[in-house]
Amino acid sequence: MKRKINILVLFVVLSIAGCYSQNPFITHIYAADPSGHVWPGDTTTLWLYTSHDVPGNNHHATMFDYHVFSTQDLVNWTDYGRVLSVDDVDWAIDYAWAIDAVYRHGNYYLIFCMHDETGIFRTGVAISDVPQGPFTNIGCIKGVDWGQDPAVFVDDDGKAYLYWGSGGNCEAAELNDDLLSIKPETKVNLKNQLFEVFEGPWVHKYQGHYYLSYPGLAKGEWPEEMNYAISDKPLGPYKYQGKYIPKFEGQAGTNHGSIVLYKNKWIAFHHSAMVSEGNGSARSLMADYLTYNPDGTIKPIVPDPQGISKGKPATCTIYLEAENAPAAGGKLVKTQVESTLAGFFGKGYVAGFDKRFDYVQVLVQVGKDMKARLKMRYSADEDFSADILVGVLMLDGWNGTKIKKTNGWEEIDLGDVQLKAGDNLIRINSYTNVSLKIDCFKIEPKN
């Protein structure tokens, strides 16, 4: 009997050069609330953890999952697909809003918020052994009431602090070592220290001082502007300093940001509604360089159309590794993971195509309709026939057509595909028992 393994060694690559190739710098998918990090031991890679806006909506109630992005040059980005969804969290029902991430004791933790069955925001924790996930839910943080928009700051002494807040409130506390509860005696309410605070706190450290940045509502009116305050201690008291991203053309009603040092330059990440032409529920990722005055205050930012790539056309690649398939909405049906043939990517490859309806399937999420080129990296000891489906459509010319055997791992061009805005399922099944091994799919834009 064939061994069934719920791990799919597969990645999907989607390279996109959009018309907004600098700022916003990610245009193939709607994403918001970027949390930027450079992890210990790898100063060359910048990571972003974001929420995901579903295209075609006019509200935030349909936010159900999270994405992770990375870059090593601020021009070429990777999207690792859906890394955690409401479906993966047993206590959650909806509203996968802003997130953060933290490295702790050799693991990576996603700190997220979702509604529970009572309609209350809980702050959840999910774990992975790699920064790109996928992440596995391990519970909620005890001691946090209405835990919307969480952010974690780890100080030089290793102590971790949690910040959260919404609706004009902001609270903070030191976390216990396992990140699953706060130290209740350290809990403070920072609302009265943060002028016009509304939600989305974030803390970074510069020249020995703690900077708490947050979206605020000037005189209680939308849209949000990015404000900040400074303290000598992570839990305050904080002294308000002003706005570092005032209102700007093309912004969404909300804003939410993070500030991170990467390759000796400070970057302010946030979001806008430029790609969706003003739809504040379909937001896109923004990034601008941030600089300080001699006295430590932040120079206000006017978003730069050239962004942090300084005019170089940005690209983004969706990359879904095998073990991410269940979390990313894919399937592995009567096939299994192997790793004996050298030269594969990730942790293995998909094998075991014993009959026609044994297949692999992955989920690709995009924000707009797009035409692209589909390629596949595979190995086969003999010619074979296959069905290749994108959504409900059979790829023209590939329903049962022979695919040639290879000499090791090779890449084949499978022709044009049309992706629709939203979720797209890509599936391949062979017709007969064959020594087929699938390593990855690539989806490249035509323009």
User: Which CATH class name applies to 22-313?
Assistant: mainly beta
Q: Calculate the alpha carbon distances from 24 to 67, 252, 304, 322 in Å.
A: 16, 12, 9, 29
Q: What number of helices (H) and strands (E) belong to the chain?
A: 0, 33
Phi-psi region of 220 (alpha: psi -120 to 50; beta: other; left: phi over 0): left
For the chain (447 residues), the mean pLDDT of every run of 10, in chain order, is 36 41 88 98 97 94 96 94 95 97 97 96 97 95 96 98 97 98 98 97 98 96 97 98 97 97 98 96 98 98 94 84 75 89 89 88 90 86 89 65 90 88 90 83 69
| Whole-angstrom distance, CA of residue 207 vs CA of residue 375 | 49
Place of tokens 């193939």: 28
- The reply to whether domains 22-313 and 322-445 share a CATH topology is no
- Give me 72's structure tokens: 């090593």
Q: What pLDDT was estimated at residue 277?
A: 93
**Cβ neighbours for 427, distance < 8 A, ≥ 6 positions apart:** 331, 359, 360, 361, 387, 388, 389
Confirm if 440 and 388 have CB atoms less than 8 A apart.
Answer: no
Among residues 33, 88, 174, 288, the one annotated as catalytic is 33
Phi-psi region of 381 (alpha: psi -120 to 50; beta: other; left: phi over 0): alpha
Active site residue 171: no
Q: What pLDDT was estimated at residue 99?
A: 98
| Whole-angstrom distance, CA of residue 318 vs CA of residue 26 | 11
> What are the residue ranges spanned by the domains of the chain?
22-313, 322-445
Active site residue 199: yes
User: Which CATH class name applies to 322-445?
Assistant: mainly beta
Q: What pLDDT was estimated at residue 18?
A: 39
Q: What pLDDT was estimated at residue 394?
A: 67
Q: What pLDDT was estimated at residue 19?
A: 41
- What is the number of alpha carbons within 13 Å of residue 185 lying toward its C-beta? 0
Task: Calculate the CA dihedral of residues 12, 18, 24, 29 and round it to 10 degrees.
Answer: -40
CB atoms within 10 A of CB 39: 14
Among residues 199, 225, 323, 439, the one annotated as catalytic is 199
